Structure 1
Amino acid sequence: MPHMPTDFDYLIQPGWNDSPAGHWQSHWQQQLGARRPQPASWQLPQLDDWVDALRAELAACRRPAIVVAHSLGCVALAHYSARFGGAGVAAALLVAPADVERAGAPAPLLDFAPLPNSRLPFPARVVASDDDPFCRIERAQMLADAWGAPLSVLPGAGHINAASGHARWDEGFAELAILKEGVQVPTCAA
């Protein structure tokens, strides 16, 4: 992993059912010394609860945070931003966003619909796969465009999780480095 400056805090925002020890987000959390929100339930997600947990964790950060979100966590962050203007977020890496509006979306995800489609008030990058079963690449492009974020497409990467062979996903740190190039380092007022 490349050296990551400490000008920011890092926050890992998992998706539905959390990110277990074998998931790249858990690996990254250790590598980055990141925080992780703790909603009441990862298995029965409720939008308000997830947004409140994210807000509380961001408020506990000492510096603006770079949020690394996966799947339903990307949607939770977009809702947070729509409600609170992205307070506390310096930038976000949005990996494999879940399309909660797709036909056949599991019932526990429906509370997160409709998908926020307003521009995010902080720099962001979307990373998606061209064969993600939970979000067609055309939909990922629409979300990236709406959120004002460039899209990186990983060919044949599935849902970019442990099940698709992304247990550590060290290659993803390159996406994080690209994101950070466009982020202003916070400065103290004189």
Structure 2
Amino acid sequence: MSEPRILLLPGWQNSGPGHWQTRWESVYGDHRVDQHEWMRPLRGDWSARLEEEVLAAPGPVVLAAHSLGCILTAAWAAHSRHTHKVRGALLVAPGDLERDDLRQLIPGWAPIVRKPLPFPAVLIAANDDPYCEASRSKQLASDWGARFVDAGKGGHLNAESGLGDWPEGRQLLNDLSKDTH
């Protein structure tokens, strides 16, 4: 079985230089899914772009999503006929886009798709994430059929969290990459 291509799915405004996704792109050669519009994301456009990248991959893929990228993963999986190419998904710090303040900042993404994902997934979130309460992260993991991992204190698990190359997250991703479900 061929090694999967790691597709990085950044959230709103992309992932900057200190973000673990950017580090993984640099260190491991993972492939960032570049969206056409990072500041005013449209769910349909982002889903179409992910579909293009999954189809372009020569073999299986593993998704490494952060924040809005997690919400994208669920929305895309609910409509794509190519989810069989996904070996697994690492879902990191989903944003609660059903919250009034976030819904206004990033319109068009609520309600969050709550269908079980058709591939193995792990959702990791901190219990002090300012964009999603811990109970909501756990509920999303349950709705999506993902294993939940509590990251403890860590905020939004982004560059400001000081994760660097984030070896703990990479281990979770590697475990999904080897999964043969």
Structure 1 length-normalised TM? 0.88
- Per the alignment, residue 178 of structure 1 pairs with 175
1:156-167 equivalence runs, <5 A: 156-167=153-164
**Which of 11, 23, 26 is the matching residue for 2:22?**
26
Per-residue CA deviations over 1:113-157 (Å, capped at 9, x if unaligned) read 111111000000000000000010100010000111110001111
- Residue 125 of structure 1 aligns to which amino acid in structure 2? V
Residue of structure 1 aligned with 2:115, choices 106, 112, 118: 118
Other structure's SS at 2:137 match: helix
| Separation (CA, whole Å) in 2 of partners of 1:39 and 1:163 | 22
Pair 1:80-2:92 in alignment: no
Distance 2:35 2:130 in 1: 25
Q: Map of 1:1-190 to 2, 5 A cutoff?
A: 7-85=3-81, 86-105=83-102, 107-181=104-178, 183-184=179-180
Q: Which digits, 9 at most, give the CA deviation of each residue in 1:37-62, with x for residues without a partner?
A: 22221111111111111111111111
> Is the 8 Å Cα contact of residues 70 and 92 (structure 2) preserved in structure 1?
yes
- How far has the Cα of 1:164 moved from its partner? 1.9
**Alignment deviations for residues 91-116 of structure 1 (CA, whole Å, 9 cap, x no partner):** 10000011100131152422111111
Note closer, same or farther for the CA distance 1:7–1:13 as it changes in structure 2 (3 Å cut). same
Structure 2 CA distance for aligned equivalents of residues 44 and 167 of structure 1? 27
The answer to whether the 8 Å contact 1:45/1:108 transfers is no
Q: Is the 8 A contact 2:74 2:113 kept in 1?
A: yes
Whether the aligned pair in 1 keeps the contact of 2:90 and 2:123 (CA below 8 Å) is: yes
Question: Equivalent residue for 1:188?
Answer: none
Identity value in percent = 37
Q: More deviation in 37-46 or 127-136?
A: 37-46
Runs (5+) with no aligned partner, structure 1: 186-190
Contact persistence 2:88–2:121 (CA under 8 A): yes
**Consecutive unaligned residues in structure 2, runs of 5 or more:** none
1:65-104 deviation digits (Å, cap 9, x = unpaired) = 0010000000011100001152521110000011100131
When structure 1 is superposed on structure 2, of 72-81 and 164-173 the one drifting more is: 164-173
Q: Matched residues in 2 for 1:75 and 1:19: separation?
A: 16
How many residue pairs match? The answer is: 180
How many angstroms does 1:180 deviate by? 3.5
